[in-house]
Amino acid sequence: MSKENPHVVIAGGGTGGHLFPGIAVVEALEELVPSLRASFVGTAKGIEARVIPRLGYDLHLVDVASLKGAGASGLAKGLTRLPASALQSRKILTAIQPDAVISVGGYAAGPFTMVAALAGVPTALMEQNATPGLTNKMLGRLVDRAFVTFEESKSYFGKTRCEVVGNPVRRQIVERAAGFQYKEPAPNGEFRILVIGGSGGAGSFNQGVPDWMQNMGKLAQNIHVRHQAGRNRGGEVVQRYEGFAGKAEVVEFIDDMAEAYAWCDLLICRAGASTIAEVLILGVPAIYIPFPGAADNHQEKNALAVVEAGAGIMIDDVEITSDRSQRLLAGLIGNPVALANIAHRAKGLGRPEAAQTIASKIMELMK
């Protein structure tokens, strides 16, 4: 390794939940070594293809397909691509000569991290979820270190090489959290609800949450909703809020999530690991609604780890428009102290130092 100009590769992505923790670690590495070079390996279909070039980093593409969740034909297709993907990865590895490779999960991480590990390049993985994805489960046998978010994840990796550090979040969130303290809403005042179904929105949120809000009776008059609908879905959600007694702002995408989190009195969101990590760092009360189609039901397991600590609330996707959800929300609106207690416990679970911890460990790994 060139100690003055180390080169670190982040492998994987596909979704923001995989990619953004990797970007957070790169930010932390650059703080430690300003001359550090970072690049990414992913696929043309993943979110990395849009995000990474805009950030100014090199992105190397590998033609690889998921081995999970695509049925028998998808599995066969993915397996037949593996040899070519490994060859592509080997060529990229030879060309860019990284000093370390970090898998952030997602099927795009597999071939490149595997080839790097077998070539003797220092390697590590970051696992965001309570139950690791297929790629990281397989890579766990090869990499030098594993950094996980939840204690229960350690059983999937060698204990001597695995460390619970939390899930890295973007610098923007960490900086905002440092000076943020949740303030309980005033009784009978405006009650601000932020609705986030993920960067792409969520169909059940877009359909069900407006109905949920519409059915809040007299309480609806004081509710102010900010609803992220997802790309090209804003119009349909605006229509669903027509006639709402409160105030509804519908946006397709929120660029400044730190501001949005700090704005709300209550968050309604999915239970992806990155979302949870951001919410805990700021200390915001949230109702988590796990995505029912998540692999290995990992979103429910993520949420349970928070709920069992009294740092959040969980309901099922099918309950969005239920009487139980209406009673739950009414109870929270009427009990600001309970919201503040949830926020306090949430912030106690936050790990704002996760990115810096991983960055320091990667620097040690490259020595």
Kindly state whether residue 75 falls inside one of the protein's structural domains. yes
- Could you give the strand order of the β-sheet that contains 266-269, starting from the edge strand earlier in sequence? 247-251, 223-228, 191-196, 266-269, 286-288, 313-314
Residue 266 and residue 164 share a domain: no
pLDDT, tens digit, for every residue of 65-116? 665 555 555 544 555 667 888 999 999 999 999 999 999 998 889 999 999 9
Kindly state whether residue 1 falls inside one of the protein's structural domains. no
Give CA separation, 136 vs 110, 125, 352, in Å: 8, 7, 23
Kindly state whether residue 125 falls inside one of the protein's structural domains. yes
pLDDT, tens digit, for every residue of 248-301? 999 998 989 999 999 999 999 999 999 999 999 999 999 999 999 888 888 999
Residue 70 and residue 34 share a domain: yes
Structure tokens at 118: 């077998």
Strands (E), 179-301: 191-196, 223-228, 247-251, 266-269, 286-288
pLDDT of residue 296: 82
Task: Tell me the whole-structure pTM to 2 decimals.
Answer: 0.86
Calculate mean pLDDT across residues 120-124.
Answer: 98
Residue 197 and residue 141 share a domain: no
Residue 343 and residue 357 share a domain: no
Banded pLDDT at 152 (limits 50, 70, 90) = confident
Q: For 141-145, 156-160, 205-209, 323-327, which range has the lowest pLDDT when averaged over its residues?
A: 156-160
Exposure string of 316-327, with b = 16+ CB inside 10 Å and e = fewer, is ebeebbeeebbe
Distance, CA of 47 to chain centre: 13
Kindly state whether residue 152 falls inside one of the protein's structural domains. yes
Residue 256 and residue 151 share a domain: no
Residue 154 and residue 206 share a domain: no
pLDDT of residue 255: 86
Residue 221 and residue 324 share a domain: yes
Q: Where in the sequence is the domain holding 270, given as residue range(s)?
A: 175-349
Kindly state whether residue 326 falls inside one of the protein's structural domains. yes
In total, the chain counts a number of residues equal to: 367
Residue 164 and residue 212 share a domain: no
Q: What percent of the chain has pLDDT over 70?
A: 93
Residue 273 and residue 162 share a domain: no
Q: What is the mean pLDDT of the chain?
A: 92
Element housing 11 (H / E): strand 7-11
Kindly state whether residue 2 falls inside one of the protein's structural domains. no
- β-sheet bridge partners, residue 249: 226
Give CA separation, 82 vs 12, 63, 68, 112, 127, in Å: 15, 9, 14, 11, 22
Residue 235 and residue 101 share a domain: no
Give CA separation, 39 vs 263, 279, 323, in Å: 34, 28, 49
Domain with residue 251: its CATH number is 3.40.50.2000
Domain total for the chain? Answer: 2
Q: Is 245 helix (H, G, I), strand (E, B) or coil?
A: coil
Banded pLDDT at 168 (limits 50, 70, 90) = very high
Residue 261 and residue 183 share a domain: yes
Q: What is the number of helices (H) and of strands (E) in the chain?
A: 14, 13
Residue 186 and residue 146 share a domain: no
